[in-house]
Structure formats: structure tokens, C-alpha cells
Amino acid sequence: MTLAVCADVGSTYTKAAVVDLAAGVLVGAGAAPTTVGSDVLHGLDAAVAAATAGLGARDVPWYVCSSAGGGLRLAVIGYEPLVTAQAGRRVGLSAGAHVVHVAAGRLGAADLTALRAARPDVVLLVGGTDGGDADTIAHNATRLARARWRRPVVYAGNADVRAELTGLLEAAGVPVTGADNVLPRIGVLAPEPARAAIRAVFLRHVIGGKRLSRGGRFARLVRAATPDAVLTGVEVLADTIGGDLAVVDVGGATTDVYSVLTPDERATGPGREVAGSLWRARTVEGDLGMRWSAPGVVRAAAEERLLAADEADALTAAAARRAADPGFLAVDDAERAADARIAALAATVALRRHARGAATGERAGRDLRDVRLMVGSGGVLRHAPAPVAGQVLEAVLG
């Protein structure tokens, strides 16, 4: 067997799997609580030990992704809110980031204060099409330089002034990485260069900067932010099946939705998005989750009119118990049924929001009618009996 260890260091649990690469099969799995309070390597090593027990899997490659310590917090600074700032936000989401702040136009003192308050790990600086407006992005780069900004910056704006402005930031001591413009022309969204640059900055600066582990081993092991790795996997799966695909990942604090759609005439037609269409996209619903955000699921479901008249009170109480004790485990049929219902509602609301396009700023929404495969993910589905998981997904599709 040609074995490899794949591990995800999450905010709560670290999961590990052992895969036979030659056969393409899963041969082992294990999990352990994430040990953010001490050293995340303790939890990672424990999870891998559980996954490899009895396999003799020594000296095999490890592929590790991480969202521990809050994952990747990104701020976007653009030319104006409806085009370049929105394009930057979409790119940030596709790169696996939690977009914590979006600013547009010329930064002033209040804008810098708000930016600092958002505590981003990385700033994505965008603005102007190639050969277009350079004044705004030049102003913003200058403000960051004069403000003695020390968090990493990815410059992915007007290519005509990229060398000049990255040089300006470097001279001021700002860690900066240049990438091709996310919006080289109106209506053309080019996310991959900026996405790759954000990934590199995450690995180089953010993982070590969060002080999740002593020494450099953890930073050497991590290859991507978890949502970035998931989207990459979703892209590969979509290419393999040759059609549209959607994934709903129900977590303890958030519910993420990923979709890969086939480009069509909308990309170039008269109704195209000015900020470009992101055919491979991810959205994050921070108010929808199985534990910390369970009350948000009930509130959102009520707003969507998804709750039966006689279940709101009982489900509200069940959600409150889970939010008060994120380590809560369902031990009887009633609590397991509540978990399944909360999961179905979280996935349904998250998928509806994703389709509407509000989180990605797509005015026309995302057309999911041609999705050929719907994948459910997250511990509540992974650990549920197959019939229960199937019922959850059927409720989402219904």
C-alpha cells in the first residue's frame, strides 16, 4: 500500500485519515480534541496515532490543513463597493478566508481605526482594472505605509502600478506579496493568482503568527487553510463528475456551502456581473451551526418559515442547551432527533442564502438547478446512521 495521512486541525476537533493512494480507499481514521490551549501538535499527533493504529504507517507523508485559532481572517480594501471591493471579497472567500472587514474608496483615519479593530491576519488590497484608475489604490497603499501597518498585505489590483506600490509598502516595512489583478477588466474575475498568494501568506505568516505550537514543525506540516483545501477538493470532484456540484458542511459554529457551476453565456452576456462571475465559490454562514450558533439556526429557520407551529419552543430550548455547552453529546433518541433537525435547518438556510448570492454579492444569485451531486459534510452527518444523514439531505433538497 502507498499510504498518506490527511489531517484537519479544526477549532474543536482534529481529524485524521489514512488513505491508500494507489487503491484510492480509506484505510484508517481517528480524531482527538484540538489542543489550542497548549500545543496543537498534541491533538494532531493523538489523532494521527489513532488513525494509524495497527497499520504500521511509518515515514508516510502528512497532508495537513488547519482552521484552528480562528482560521484565516481577511480584510478587503477596494476602489468602490460594488465592483473591486466585491470582487476582492469573493476571491477572499474562495481562498478559504473569513472576510472580517470590507472597505472601499480612499481610506481615512476612521477607516484605519475600523480596519485595526477588525484584527485581520491579511489585507487584500485591490482596486482599478489594469490600466484604469490608479489614484485610489495608490492612496490606500500610501495610508497603510504611513500607518506603520505590520500585518501581511496581498496586492492584487491595477497591474500598471503593482511594482511601484509593492515597493512603497516594502520600504515602509509592510510584509507585501504582489499578485495579478483580481479584476483585470470589467466583468472578468480572475481569482486564482490572488488565491494562491493568500494561501502562501497564510502558510508563511499566519500559521506561525497564531502561536498555536512551539517550534516550526506545525508550520511545516500545514499546507492550506481548511476551507481552501475543501474548495480545492470540491473543484477536483466537480471536474471528475463533469457537472455542477454543491457541498454543505455543517459545523459547530458555522455552516459552509461550496458550489462549482459550469460557465455559460451569462459570463459574457449583457446581464453579466460587473464584478465578474465566480463559478467556483464558497460562502460562510457564521450564525448557523450545531453548537455555538444553534440558536441562530432556529431564528433563521423561523424567518424562512421552515418551522412547524408546534416545534419552535422545543427546538429553541434544544438549541440553547447546545450553545451553553458546545461539548454536548446527544445520548438519547430525542436529542439525536433534535441534532438532525437543527442540521437539516442549518443546511437548508445556508444553501438558500448561497443560491440567493447575497454573501457573494451576486445580484442574479447562483443557479443551482443543474447540480448533479449534493454532498453533506460535518460531524453531525459523518457520525449519524446512514438513514438519518440521508433524511437530513432529503430535507435540504426538498
Q: What local confidence, expressed as pLDDT, does residue 37 receive?
A: 86
Statement to judge: residues 63 and 87 lie in one domain: no
Determine, yes or no, domain membership for 238: no
Give residue 21's identity as a one-letter amino acid code. L
**Residue 161: its H or E element:** none
We report the CATH number of the domain holding residue 300 as 3.30.420
- Check if the beta carbon of residue 50 is closer than 8 Å to that of residue 30: yes
Do 104 and 188 lie in one domain? The reply is: yes
Q: 334 and 383 share a domain?
A: yes
Are residues 304 and 186 part of one domain? no
Claim to verify: residue 93 and residue 108 sit in the same structural domain:
yes
Q: Residue 362 has what pLDDT?
A: 60
Count of beta carbons in the 10 Å neighbourhood of residue 141: 28
Band the pLDDT of 357: cuts 50, 70, 90: confident
224 assigned to some structural domain:
no
CA pair distance 9, 379, nearest whole angstrom:
14
The grid cell for 81 is 463597493
Query: CA nearest 13: which of 51, 40, 50, 39?
Result: 40
Tell me whether residue 225 is in a domain. no
96 shares its domain with 7: no
Same domain, 248 and 285: yes
Say if residue 61 is in the same domain as residue 77. no
Q: What is the mean pLDDT of residues 92-110?
A: 90
Burial of 201 (0-12, 13-18, 19+ CB in 10 A): buried
- Residue 128: inside a domain: yes
| Long-range Cβ pairs for the range 42-51 (8 Å, 24+) | 43/9, 43/14, 44/7, 44/9, 44/14, 44/16, 44/218, 44/221, 46/14, 47/7, 47/14, 47/15, 47/16, 48/5, 48/7, 48/16, 50/16, 51/5, 51/16, 51/17, 51/18
> Environment class of residue 172 by beta-carbon count within 10 Å: exposed (0-12), middle (13-18) or buried (19+)?
middle
Decide which of 150, 182, 206 is a domain's last residue.
Answer: 206
Q: Is residue 193 pLDDT above 60, yes or no? A: yes
pLDDT 10s digits, 115-155: 999 999 999 999 999 999 999 999 999 999 999 999 999 99
Residue 271: which pLDDT band, with cuts at 50, 70 and 90? very low
Q: How many Å apart are CA 194 and CA 200, to the nearest integer?
A: 10
The predicted structure's pLDDT at residue 12: 79
- Ordered DSSP codes for 95-145: TT-EEEEEEESS--HHHHHHHHHH--SEEEE--S-TTS--HHHHHHHHHHH
The β-bridge relationship of strands 153-155 and 176-178 is parallel
Are residues 85 and 58 part of one domain?
no
Cβ atoms 295, 319 nearer than 8 A:
yes
Global pTM reads: 0.78
User: What confidence score (pLDDT) does residue 90 get?
Assistant: 83
Pairing of β 25-33 and β 13-20: antiparallel
Domain boundary among the residues 69, 87, 102 is at 69
Note whether 251 and 182 are same-domain residues: no
Q: Are residues 388 and 353 in the same domain?
A: yes
pLDDT for residue 360: 55
- Please give the pLDDT value at position 274: 54
Same domain as 80, residue 29: no
Cβ-proximal residues to 86 (8 Å cutoff; 6+ apart), any chain: 78, 275, 361
At 168 the pLDDT is 98
pLDDT beyond 70 at 283: yes
Query: Residue 164's domain is classified under what CATH number?
Result: 3.40.50.2300
DSSP labels for 241-294?
Answer: HTSEEEEEEE-SS-EEEEEE----GGGTSTT--TT---SEEEEEETT--SSTTH
Q: Which domain holds residue 18?
A: 3-69
Question: How many independent structural domains does the chain possess?
Answer: 3
Kindly indicate the confidence band of residue 270, based on its pLDDT and cuts at 50, 70 and 90: very low
For the ranges 43-47, 144-148, 205-209, 308-312, the lowest mean pLDDT is seen at 205-209
Asked if the structure places residue 215 within a domain, the reply is no
Mean pLDDT of 40-53: 96
Which of 69, 104, 127 is the last residue before a domain boundary? 69
Whether 218 maps to a domain, the answer reads no
Structure letter (DSSP) for residue 84: H
Half-sphere exposure in the Cβ direction for 12 (13 Å, CA): 14
The pLDDT of 345-371, averaged and rounded, is 82
